[in-house]
Amino acid sequence: MVKLTRIYTRGGDKGKTSLGNGKRVDKHALRVAAYGAVDEANAAIGIARLQTASLPDADAMLGRIQNDLFDLGADLCTPDDGKDLGYEPLRILDSQVQRLEREIDAMNAELAPLSSFVLPGGTPASAHLHLARTLARRAERAITRLSRREPVSPAALQYVNRLSDHLFVLGRFLNDKGAGDVLWIPGATREAQ
């Protein structure tokens, strides 16, 4: 279990930070950028949860996702370089990806098919989830960039890919099961008013 007694350590004052295996790296390293982007998405989900407190099922899903995102950050923070760490590092599991898929499928079964792209908006909860979705996609781009240079677990890549899908479907679900979606009308603003 993590126990924090001091918040600042001065260890990063020169632009370096420690990974989970103790290795010191630049704070702008690809790995740090990847788990930092995951943290951004998690914070946005926290804001979305301000709008879902009265929706127990949605709020519970988001709470599980927030916990998963800390697992994902821990996974990314500890590179799998084949060295014995003296402990088993926390990794995203296939079961976490599968849970997202089950939840997506259950929500999507109640939604009408889309006839256009959805503009971010609708209910406050949905608008916040769209923002979280875009940050999850940013995290995915950072993680895939990292994966081209260093090992990243396949489950971590799958999880972050499913996450943005989940947030999109949940956003539609909370828009009165899609009835409140704001749809893109291609070229609608081209004509001079």
Does residue 187 come out as left (phi exceeding 0), alpha (psi in the -120 to 50 range) or beta? left
Task: Look at residue 13 in the predicted model and tell me its pLDDT.
Answer: 78
Task: Look at residue 193 in the predicted model and tell me its pLDDT.
Answer: 62
Question: Measured over all CA atoms, what is the biggest interatomic distance in the chain, rounded to whole angstroms?
Answer: 68
Q: Where are the domains of the chain?
A: 24-79+90-178
pLDDT tens-place string over residues 6-32: 778 787 778 898 888 889 988 999 999
With CA atoms as reference, report the closest residue to 15 among 5, 25, 7.
25
Cβ–Cβ < 8 Å for 142, 101? no
Beta strands in 19-109, from DSSP E residues, in sequence order:
24-26
Please state the length of the chain: 193
Task: Look at residue 26 in the predicted model and tell me its pLDDT.
Answer: 85
Domain 24-79+90-178 indexed as CATH 1.20.1200.10? yes
Does residue 176 come out as left (phi exceeding 0), alpha (psi in the -120 to 50 range) or beta? left
Task: Look at residue 141 in the predicted model and tell me its pLDDT.
Answer: 98
Q: What does the pLDDT profile of the chain (193 residues) look like in tens digits?
A: 667 777 787 877 788 988 888 899 889 999 999 999 999 999 999 999 999 999 999 999 999 999 999 999 999 999 988 888 888 889 999 999 999 999 999 999 999 988 899 999 999 999 999 999 999 999 999 999 999 999 999 999 999 999 999 999 999 999 999 989 989 989 988 876 6
User: In the numeric block, which tokens belong to residue 57?
Assistant: 């099922």
